[in-house]
Structure 1
Amino acid sequence: MPADEQGDTERPGGGPDAAPSPPHARRHRWAGRAVELLRAEAAAVGPTPLLRYPLPSAWGPRLYLKDESAQPTGSLKHRLVRAMFLHALADGRITEGTPVVVATGGAVAVAGAAIAGRLGVPFHAVVPRAAAPALTARIEPLGAQVTVGDPPAAVHAEAARLAERLGGHFMDHFADAERAVTGCGEPTIAEETFQQLAGEDHPLPHWIVTGAGTGATAAAFGRHLRRHGLPTGLAVVDPENSAYFPGWAAGVPDYATGVPSRIAGIGRPRMEPGFVPSLVDLMVPVPDAASIAAMRHLRAATGRSLGGSSGTTLWGACHLLARMLAEGTRGSVVIIAGDHAEPYRHTYDDDAWLRQQGLDPTPHAQVLERFFATGEWSPG
């Protein structure tokens, strides 16, 4: 019979007459150690950088970049996945040896594999066939297993079935991330950002600009602004084919396009349950070619290689900065840079891939150059 079923032989007082610990004691201790590990990781990372973006010196507004590529696996999703693990540990859904299953071919799988490896629990990613080769190379060295779901629309259901078959935990980031950040994400990205802004010229920004993938980051900022009665607006940028902008504009909570976004990490073919439209003050639709142009402009201006979603937020910020310039409004805008550019070497940074996709960033790059030189915003 396993030691846990017999009763743990450790005695709280250490004396020979102390009663054996009950069977649940080891489970609780393991969960407590796992939580400590994840909190220690978060503390070691510390606040991700908040950088001032180089704007013309004559401009009144300031632009800041919150660089989430500094997370351990290079993406904002690491922060969210850590919160989901903490939430599942606190709820008892992950215990020692519990297999964890996700349905994604992106950054959530990479972060999940790294965190599961730290905790010593099995990790499985069910991914679309097109994403499998690149993802396998990134997560198998971390001890993860990859299962191909086909067709892509079936990946979510296949992951849920696999978790049930394994007796594991299906970590559904589109349903779980927003709740997990609310319950176990302290400090949230919003709290961290406003603490960093405290010593700046404009500690209360005019706008926060982020994308909506799981919806968790937008919700964290939206709730923070309302909880503290702050005047800051929350702007969410949305790429082509995504359901969020049209669903938000039309007030249709179950809006769907059925078409995947080409800008990784943000944009979804349906309104996901973690997206809370009532927390959003403004949505800005952004052409995919403009996201690529802005990503490249960002790298040239700051020396930081960030992903396409960071370009989407920069394009949205330019729209807002132009409005502030026209109105003579001082203050600041903060953009959330979601991930590093390394995973996109063969897509957004590959001109041949862009041609295959019918994307030409050149006209949008010219718009950006003119804006940062003159303050004139004419995206067409």
Structure 2
Amino acid sequence: MTMPSNDILSLDLPDCAERSWARQAIGLLQGDARRSADTHLIKPVFPGLQDISIYLKDESTHPTGSLKHRLARSLILYGICNGYILQGTTLVEASSGSTAVSEAYFARILGLPFIAVMPKTTSPQKIEAIKRFGGRCHFVDRSDQVYQAAQQIADETHGHYLDQFTNAERATDWRGNNNVAESIFAQMEKEPDPTPEWVVMSAGTGGTSATIGRYIRYRSLSTRLCVADVENSVFFDSYRSGDRTLVSDKGSRIEGIGRPRVEPSFLPTVIDHMMRIPDAASLAAMYVLSDRIFRQVGGSTGTNFYCLCEIAAQMKREKRKGSLVTLICDSGARYHDTYYNADWLKEKGFQLQPYIDQLNRFLDTGTFQTSLTQ
């Protein structure tokens, strides 16, 4: 009878050299987080909204100028901690601009190659920022082509596709760790109405709205979440119908938000209400808010602000008081060739004045004209 062998079968113990690089990389990312951990919460005064306090979380003050700074750091940490990103790994992203700018910044810090896949219509300022941080840009004709192109480039370079549209909601620690929701509510604690009636957020990946919605539930807060969508985006229709297979052959004209498909990171179950905002209203609100706070904001911030004004108008009609919070997603400096260019607006057929007049009247007098003739 043959006795079983008592020999221990083993490979040589590895030196785990890549773990040393990972520890160093995470230390660099954590250092950036400590230096740029929080952003200002602005409280502008609008004469027509005496009983409603408006707060703007200014994410444009991050080192890379947008809300996506937080997301980019989280996505790269997620890739390193999962073992997907190693020393020398090429990072690839599908992005209309701001996320790619932030990822290029972090890639340079870590000494990693970075390639952004984006529509040709992306603003020149964002393209230049990506290149300035050492990244490369690969252009496609339509926004729905970015996914396949990004995956193909990652495969060809043996790199890692960061895939913000899938990983945004899972890479961010929604319970805390200084995510944007935790920061908002911590800054609101000593305000007259510390628990906002509503937080308003537009959807690009859906990751930020997922983080805010989860955090509200985790903290058992009475705050509700309203997500603003835009034209040529399927998020609103999916929320209303429950159909996650919806697609569109058109791209959003408001950079950074709105998608031609229902992204995996979009979680309708944590959303309390949605609105679809006309693009002209978004851009008009961008102009009005920029004038009121003495700094230029981007188009997605205009979407947020117009949606917030719709909610504030309903609160006034119901004689309700309280606070509302939304985000300044990025600076208007990135859109001088488009949204802040009169010739571009005319070429696209935008007529902003009716919405500009509507918003100024509301902010000054509290009267919101619901029927507009464009």
Q: Which amino acid aligns with 1:285?
A: R
CA distance in 2, matches of 1:183, 1:328: 33
Partner of 1:7: none
Q: Residue 292 of structure 1 is aligned with which of 283, 287, 292?
A: 283
Give the 3-state SS of the residue equivalent to 1:334 in structure 2.
strand
Partner of 1:86: 77
Q: In the TM superposition, what is the alpha-carbon distance from 1:155 to its structure 2 partner?
A: 2.7
Q: Residue 23 of structure 1 is aligned with which of 15, 32, 39?
A: 15
Structure 2: unaligned runs, 5 residues or longer: 1-11
Q: Which amino acid aligns with 2:45?
A: P
Judge conservation of contact 2:166–2:263 (CA < 8 Å) in 1: yes
Partner of 1:115: 106
CA distance in 1, matches of 2:362, 2:331: 25
Asked whether 1:166 is paired with 2:157, we answer yes
CA distance in 2, matches of 1:245, 1:262: 16
Let me know the Cα RMSD of the aligned residues: 1.9
Identity within the alignment, %: 39
Give the 3-state SS of the residue equivalent to 1:304 in structure 2.
coil
Q: In the TM superposition, what is the alpha-carbon distance from 1:182 to its structure 2 partner?
A: 3.3
Give the 3-state SS of the residue equivalent to 1:182 in structure 2.
coil
Partner of 1:254: 245
Q: Residue 242 of structure 1 is aligned with which of 222, 233, 246?
A: 233
CA distance in 2, matches of 1:213, 1:358: 24
Partner of 2:188: 197
Q: Residue 59 of structure 2 is aligned with which of 64, 68, 82?
A: 68
Q: Which amino acid aligns with 1:89?
A: I
Partner of 1:281: 272
Q: Which amino acid aligns with 2:15?
A: P
Give the 3-state SS of the residue equivalent to 1:176 in structure 2.
helix
Tell me the TM-score normalised to structure 1 length. Answer: 0.90
Judge conservation of contact 1:87–1:184 (CA < 8 Å) in 2: no
Q: Which amino acid aligns with 2:169?
A: E
1:67-104, Cα deviation, whole Å (9 max, x unpaired): 11011111111111110001111101111111101122
Q: Structure 1 residues 259, 247: CA separation in 2 closer, same or farther (over 3 Å shift)?
A: same
Give the 3-state SS of the residue equivalent to 2:122 in structure 1.
helix
Judge conservation of contact 1:67–1:338 (CA < 8 Å) in 2: yes
Judge conservation of contact 1:94–1:169 (CA < 8 Å) in 2: yes
Judge conservation of contact 1:75–1:340 (CA < 8 Å) in 2: yes
Q: Structure 1 residues 133, 193: CA separation in 2 closer, same or farther (over 3 Å shift)?
A: closer
Give the 3-state SS of the residue equivalent to 1:66 in structure 2.
strand
Q: Where do 1:71-150 residues align within 5 Å? A: 71-131=62-122, 135-150=126-141
Q: In the TM superposition, what is the alpha-carbon distance from 1:148 to its structure 2 partner?
A: 2.9
CA distance in 1, matches of 2:331, 2:87: 32
CA distance in 2, matches of 1:326, 1:150: 45
Q: In the TM superposition, what is the alpha-carbon distance from 1:22 to its structure 2 partner?
A: 3.9
Higher relative contact order (CA 8 A, sep 6+): 2
Q: In the TM superposition, what is the alpha-carbon distance from 1:191 to its structure 2 partner?
A: 0.5
Partner of 1:341: 332
1:37-96, Cα deviation, whole Å (9 max, x unpaired): 111111111211101021227711100000110111111111111100011111011111
CA distance in 1, matches of 2:265, 2:85: 21
Using the TM superposition, name which of 370-379 and 193-202 deviates more.
370-379
CA distance in 2, matches of 1:300, 1:252: 39
Q: In the TM superposition, what is the alpha-carbon distance from 1:257 to its structure 2 partner?
A: 2.4
Give the 3-state SS of the residue equivalent to 1:148 in structure 2.
strand
Partner of 1:154: 145
CA distance in 1, matches of 2:274, 2:112: 39
Judge conservation of contact 1:132–1:146 (CA < 8 Å) in 2: no
Q: Structure 1 residues 151, 201: CA separation in 2 closer, same or farther (over 3 Å shift)?
A: closer
Q: In the TM superposition, what is the alpha-carbon distance from 1:138 to its structure 2 partner?
A: 2.1
Judge conservation of contact 2:301–2:330 (CA < 8 Å) in 1: yes
CA distance in 1, matches of 2:123, 2:281: 28
Partner of 1:220: 211
Q: In the TM superposition, what is the alpha-carbon distance from 1:158 to its structure 2 partner?
A: 1.7
Give the 3-state SS of the residue equivalent to 1:379 in structure 2.
coil
Q: Structure 1 residues 203, 151: CA separation in 2 closer, same or farther (over 3 Å shift)?
A: closer
Using the TM superposition, name which of 110-119 and 52-61 deviates more.
52-61
1:221-266, Cα deviation, whole Å (9 max, x unpaired): 1001111111101001111111111111122122222211111111
Give the 3-state SS of the residue equivalent to 1:131 in structure 2.
coil
Give the 3-state SS of the residue equivalent to 2:199 in structure 1.
strand
Q: Structure 1 residues 134, 323: CA separation in 2 closer, same or farther (over 3 Å shift)?
A: closer
Judge conservation of contact 1:260–1:269 (CA < 8 Å) in 2: yes
Partner of 1:362: 353
